[in-house]
Structure 1
Amino acid sequence: MKRPFGIIKAVGWATYKEWAAFRSHMAVSILIGPIYFLVQYFIWSAVFSSRETLNGFTLTQMLAYYGIMSCINYLTFDFADWNLQMLIRTGKYVTFVLRPVSHVFFALCQKIGHRSLGFWMEFLPVFLIYLWVFRIDLLPSRPIWAVISVILGFLMTFLVNYCIGLTAFWLTNADGVRSMFHLLRNISAGVLVPLTFFPELIQRVLFFLPFQFMQYVPARVFIGEYELAGFTMSIPQIVGLQALAVLLMWGITALLIRLGNRKFTGVGV
């Protein structure tokens, strides 16, 4: 057990220090997040001007949803897909094939270090802005379950993105797939609009996709209730389902890694 934690500490700390040297890049998020939220505030204020509720949401709940979704994005943000496809395309992935540590674990350690810096450089300032400036209640109703759900969302985001990066084994340049995936992810994870706003048929499809477990489920756990496609679950039930989905996604990732390694030539371009 000491060896994995030692690797996490070493790689995570190195990544933390590396990105800390370019922390102004992260500091821009302090402006982007609140500006995006302000746009949502004006849009939904206009929508709710002629009604009190919409699909079960009040204006206060809708703003809280977008505030929570924004904060969760800072905690789960990931670009493992971009890193991996660059390594495969340039042939540098071969260096990880020869190392005693798998690249997927190395990449996860990098994400832990990167998001550790992002916690106080991005999440914490924006969280306080939403809480004190916009007066949005972002405190979770079930704190322990919320923390567990965010950790699972963190892992699910990493695994799904990593699988997208693995497509470079077959496509070489996965930029097109990544662009399409990011659009699909934002729609299917509830980033653009709550998933309950979609027709019931689409909701049923989204329920069985992994994207909702990335951000939508953590956001609903923060709120304290879960509903999608007619399914209403308690917080422990949906977090348990989220954990099972993460385990399934880990298995799919391991399978794709094995298939990809067989195809990798290490030539580069």
Structure 2
Amino acid sequence: MILRSAWRTLHAIAYVTYKEWAAYRSHMVVSLFVGPVLFLVQLFIWQAVFSVREMVNGFTLEQLIAYYAIVAVINYFIFDFADWNLQMLIRTGKLLTFLLRPVSHRYFALSQKIGHRTLGLWLELTPVLILFIFVFRIDLAPAYPLWAALSVVFSFLLLFLINYCIGMTAFWLTNTDGIRRMFMIVRDVCAGVFIPLGFFPEALQKLMFFLPFQYIVYVPARVFIGSYELAGRSLSIPQIVMLQGVVVMVMWLVSSFLWCLGIRKFTGVGA
């Protein structure tokens, strides 16, 4: 009964969010250019690098291009702005209206993200997939489809939870624009968005292995490829995906803990 009620709530919120963003879909269409443009920049850079060598850090040019294409696809699927939305609600006091509702704001925000990304699947992701497969001729078939799908779902949840935690810093800082921008850069670098983590010095790789950021992009990308290695550690695909699931559960607990602390600071100013 509880699960049925939770599903109905999620479906209703996701559907309303889908309809709302569909009315302003031109905002999402702009993002169609971001992924391909970034991919082209990386393509030109690495073509120049590989013009004088055949392999770099164990990657061939084809493997590295496939990595960046997979990263772009994953980013379209997991895109999230829970940090901005939550800090805005806290700063303006509008979070008060959510506290009066019979559903937690975290669940509400997650349902919103599901609705938003459902629209993004056909409006953003599908055109980019067609571009990568039929124009650039990149093989995006995962080596282990079921594990890859599970890994991307974990990535979807993990990015939401991490961003939600960043958004909760507004309970203490009020205006979090600076910390959000700084964190986004650190997150993307440590997640392997700009360069595979195996390219970093070994000392940094060891640090990144114990941070949650690699599980956002690097891990699902390596699961797609079919092998995982970082900081001299090689794990099987089932092992790294299960470890990713553990990280998701830990971040869920961390977000719950921060909410309990932060809500005591909330005064509803501006509501």
SS in 1 for 2:142: coil
Which residue of 2, 26, 29 corresponds with 1:27?
Answer: 29
SS in 1 for 2:229: strand
- Equivalent-residue separation in structure 1 for 2:30 and 2:177 (angstroms): 24
- Equivalent-residue separation in structure 1 for 2:270 and 2:257 (angstroms): 23
Confirm or deny that 1:78 pairs with 2:84.
no
Residue identity opposite 1:36 in structure 2: L
Aligned residue-pair number: 269
Deviation, structure 1 residue 196: 0.5
Answer whether contact 1:88 1:268 (CA < 8 A) is retained. Answer: no
Residue identity opposite 2:14 in structure 1: G
Which residue of 1 is the match for residue 270 of structure 2?
Answer: 268
Deviation, structure 1 residue 26: 1.3
Two-structure CA RMSD over aligned residues (Å): 0.9
Deviation, structure 1 residue 22: 1.1
- Equivalent-residue separation in structure 2 for 1:237 and 1:253 (angstroms): 24
TM-score (norm 1): 0.99
Residue identity opposite 2:177 in structure 1: D
Confirm or deny that 1:112 pairs with 2:114.
yes
Which residue of 2 is the match for residue 242 of structure 1?
Answer: 244
Deviation, structure 1 residue 253: 0.4
| CA offsets 1:79-100 (integer angstroms, 9 cap, x no match) | 0000000000000011111111
SS in 1 for 2:192: coil
Confirm or deny that 1:183 pairs with 2:158.
no
- Equivalent-residue separation in structure 1 for 2:267 and 2:32 (angstroms): 42
Which residue of 1 is the match for residue 38 of structure 2?
Answer: 36
Query: Identity over aligned residues, as a percent?
Result: 62
| CA offsets 1:68-119 (integer angstroms, 9 cap, x no match) | 0000000000000000000000000111111110100000000000000001
SS in 2 for 1:57: coil
Which residue of 2 is the match for residue 257 of structure 1?
Answer: 259
Answer whether contact 1:92 1:266 (CA < 8 A) is retained. Answer: yes
Deviation, structure 1 residue 17: 0.4
Answer whether contact 1:74 1:122 (CA < 8 A) is retained. Answer: yes
Confirm or deny that 1:12 pairs with 2:14.
yes
Listed as ranges, the gaps of 5+ residues in structure 1 are: none
- Equivalent-residue separation in structure 2 for 1:250 and 1:98 (angstroms): 22
Residue identity opposite 2:226 in structure 1: G
Deviation, structure 1 residue 32: 2.2
Deviation, structure 1 residue 189: 0.4
Which residue of 2 is the match for residue 208 of structure 1?
Answer: 210
- Equivalent-residue separation in structure 1 for 2:32 and 2:265 (angstroms): 42
- Equivalent-residue separation in structure 2 for 1:176 and 1:242 (angstroms): 28
- Equivalent-residue separation in structure 2 for 1:183 and 1:214 (angstroms): 14
SS in 1 for 2:51: helix
Deviation, structure 1 residue 263: 1.0
| CA offsets 1:120-172 (integer angstroms, 9 cap, x no match) | 11111101100110011111111100000000000000000000000000000
Comparing 33-42 with 203-212, greater Cα deviation is found at: 33-42
Which residue of 162, 168, 171 corresponds with 1:169?
Answer: 171
- Equivalent-residue separation in structure 2 for 1:213 and 1:43 (angstroms): 25
- Equivalent-residue separation in structure 1 for 2:140 and 2:173 (angstroms): 42
Which residue of 124, 133, 144 corresponds with 2:126?
Answer: 124
Which residue of 58, 61, 78 corresponds with 1:59?
Answer: 61
Answer whether contact 1:195 1:203 (CA < 8 A) is retained. Answer: yes
Residue identity opposite 1:261 in structure 2: I
- Runs of 4+ deviating beyond 3 Å: none
SS in 1 for 2:141: coil
SS in 2 for 1:180: helix
Which residue of 2 is the match for residue 102 of structure 1?
Answer: 104
| CA offsets 1:211-259 (integer angstroms, 9 cap, x no match) | 1111111111011110111110110000000000000010000000010
Answer whether contact 1:29 1:122 (CA < 8 A) is retained. Answer: yes
Which residue of 182, 186, 196 corresponds with 1:194?
Answer: 196
Deviation, structure 1 residue 30: 2.3
SS in 2 for 1:227: strand
Residue identity opposite 2:232 in structure 1: G
Residue identity opposite 2:253 in structure 1: G
SS in 2 for 1:140: coil
Residue identity opposite 1:170 in structure 2: W
Answer whether contact 1:131 1:137 (CA < 8 A) is retained. Answer: yes
